[in-house]
Structure 1
Amino acid sequence: MEISIFTVDAFTEQPFHGNPAAVCLLEDKLEENQHQKIANEMNLSETAFIRKLNPTDDFTKKNVNSTLTFITLSGELIARQAEDHIILDLPLYFTHPQDVKEVEELVKAAVGDKSVQDVRYSPDTKKLLIRLSDAYERADLEKLKVNAENLLLAEKTGRIKGVIITLKGDGRGKQESYDFYSRYFAPWYGVSEDPVTGAAHTVLSSYWSQQLGKKKMCAFQCSARGGRLKISLRQDGRVDLGGQSSIVLKGFLSI
């Protein structure tokens, strides 16, 4: 059997940037263990499998109002196309002030001696949000050397499974102004640093919306690959995360 397969870089319009994922187009169902084998073979953070619900469905037909529902370990993920962007429909998660003394060692492992302006915790996602002082610039966040092993050793609460480091935007993006920057680390799940993280922005969106008094924002995740996200908080308590994408590989997988 041959399966059409693509590698897509998400949250970017440039090849080799953003978050890489494999996408498989299936004409028929696969055995459950084959999904995992294909994902292991692709060796990327995400592998998506898209299957026709009806024999007459056309994978190649373009529809600006089309939506896809992905079944993930975290529940259903709905994506839709809007002009040249793909919009993810995600829940919005709020943060609460964190006693810095409880996570002092973890904060130091993440940002060293840098000045910290705020520390928050999201119980729904088990993510710790560390906001650097507004005195810093994007380059300071990009230069941070974060050791994943040190994060694991420094986490003593047993509650935290991801660390977000964020910084207020300086309005001096190369192509556009950004409201905030971030980086994300989740060694508890085997991810030393994630290139671009939709899940982290479900937390970042609520935090920065409160801080900036804005419902629409533009963000940049400052990993080595980098990725740009357009954010829109909705009336129903959810958030739309938008980004462009670039297909960098097309081919067939033989199984």
Structure 2
Amino acid sequence: MEIPIYTVDAFTNLPFKGNPAAVCLLENELKEELYLNIAAEMNLSETAFLTKLQPTEDFCSGARFGLRWFTPKNEITLCGHATLASAAVLFYKKGNTNPVLAFETLSGQLLVHQRGDSLVMDFPLNKPEVQDRNKYNDILKAAVGDLPIQEVCYCKTTKKLLVRLLDTCDRSVLTSLSPVTDALLKSEDSGRIKSLVITVKGAPNTQPGYDFYSRNFAPWVGVPEDPVTGSAHTVLAAYWSEKLGKKKLLAYQCSRRGGELELELKGDRVDIAGRAVILLQGILKL
């Protein structure tokens, strides 16, 4: 069996930046263990698997596809950058001419269209709820030490814990954080949290005008730090839109690789736009 595979840097227009994902184009579904074996072999935060839903169509002509995402450890229910990467492969490498691509996923139908040099994803908006921070003392200590915290929120749908640092903390404070993976895992083992998102208010009055910054740590799913995370921004967009009173937001996830996201809230959905660079094309021979 031969499977076409691509590696794509998502949420960037530069190679070796943004968030890398692998994208596999499948003629047929695989045995379940094979998905995880391939994802573990690729050893990226996510590997995406695309399947045709109509046997009469192909990756060049089809408009609807099945899409699953796997970390090196397990399958996940929502992934932004690997969705962006999948659409990039179909639009840029397969020459798909449909104006909108639809992906059937564990999070329902997700739509992606082109807008200039960007790809725009239509994702569900996931609003977090404010929490009593004292319930999270262990994980907060492991994550941010003694840094001042403005607010702690939790999103039950995505199992993401959002920690907003006080506005006196700037981007440099966020980038200097280096939580230890083992400490995070020991501080939270209930299964309730799958991702820790740390965020600070941006500087919208200085170029390029980011409304907020963030970093995302997910060792509970085998990803110590996810470089640029679309799913986290379904939560961040809901949070910061309410705090800033804005429907359109420009965000930057300031991991070592870094990546930029354009966000626009539309009711209970959010458009997440970004660019993508395809770096590698090959064949998996199994």
Same fold (TM over 0.5): yes
Q: Does 1:97 align with 2:134?
A: no
Q: Does 1:48 align with 2:81?
A: no
Pairwise CA distance, 1:171: 3.4
Q: State how many pairs are aligned.
A: 251
Distance change (3 Å), C-alpha of 1:36 and 1:120: closer
Q: 2:283 aligned to 249, 252, 255, which one? A: 252
Structure 1 counterpart of 2:248 = 216
Q: What percentage of aligned pairs have identical amino acids?
A: 49
Separation (CA, whole Å) in 2 of partners of 1:21 and 1:172: 33
Identify unmatched segments of 5+ residues in structure 2. Answer: 61-89
Query: Is the contact made by 2:24 and 2:48 (CA closer than 8 Å) also made in structure 1?
Result: yes
Q: Does 1:149 align with 2:171?
A: no
Q: 2:101 aligned to 67, 80, 85, which one? A: 67
Which stretch shows the higher mean deviation, 17-26 or 38-47? 38-47
Distance change (3 Å), C-alpha of 1:23 and 1:181: same
Distance change (3 Å), C-alpha of 1:131 and 1:31: closer
Q: Does 1:133 align with 2:166?
A: yes
Q: 1:207 aligned to 213, 220, 239, which one? A: 239
Secondary structure, counterpart of 2:240 in structure 1: helix
Structure 1 counterpart of 2:6 = 6
Pairwise CA distance, 1:62: 4.3
Distance change (3 Å), C-alpha of 1:162 and 1:3: closer
What TM-score comes out, normalization by structure 1 length? Answer: 0.88
Query: Is the contact made by 1:196 and 1:226 (CA closer than 8 Å) also made in structure 2?
Result: yes
Distance change (3 Å), C-alpha of 1:4 and 1:156: closer
Distance change (3 Å), C-alpha of 1:172 and 1:42: farther
Query: Is the contact made by 2:217 and 2:223 (CA closer than 8 Å) also made in structure 1?
Result: yes
Distance change (3 Å), C-alpha of 1:43 and 1:234: same
| Alignment-mate amino acid for residue 201 of structure 1 | H
Pairwise CA distance, 1:93: 1.4
Secondary structure, counterpart of 2:225 in structure 1: strand
Distance change (3 Å), C-alpha of 1:78 and 1:97: same
Distance change (3 Å), C-alpha of 1:157 and 1:3: closer
Query: Is the contact made by 2:202 and 2:213 (CA closer than 8 Å) also made in structure 1?
Result: yes
Structure 1 counterpart of 2:221 = 189
Secondary structure, counterpart of 1:250 in structure 2: strand
Query: Is the contact made by 2:227 and 2:255 (CA closer than 8 Å) also made in structure 1?
Result: yes
Separation (CA, whole Å) in 2 of partners of 1:246 and 1:171: 27
Pairwise CA distance, 1:221: 0.7
Q: Deviations over 1:9-55 (max 9, x none)?
A: 111111111111111234x3253244444333322222223344354
| Alignment-mate amino acid for residue 204 of structure 2 | G
Structure 1 counterpart of 2:28 = 29
Separation (CA, whole Å) in 1 of partners of 2:284 and 2:189: 44
Query: Is the contact made by 1:64 and 1:81 (CA closer than 8 Å) also made in structure 2?
Result: no
Which stretch shows the higher mean deviation, 199-208 or 99-108? 99-108
Separation (CA, whole Å) in 2 of partners of 1:13 and 1:244: 6
Which stretch shows the higher mean deviation, 214-223 or 33-42? 33-42
| Alignment-mate amino acid for residue 227 of structure 1 | G
Pairwise CA distance, 1:244: 0.3
Query: Is the contact made by 2:100 and 2:111 (CA closer than 8 Å) also made in structure 1?
Result: no
Separation (CA, whole Å) in 2 of partners of 1:100 and 1:209: 22
| Alignment-mate amino acid for residue 10 of structure 2 | A
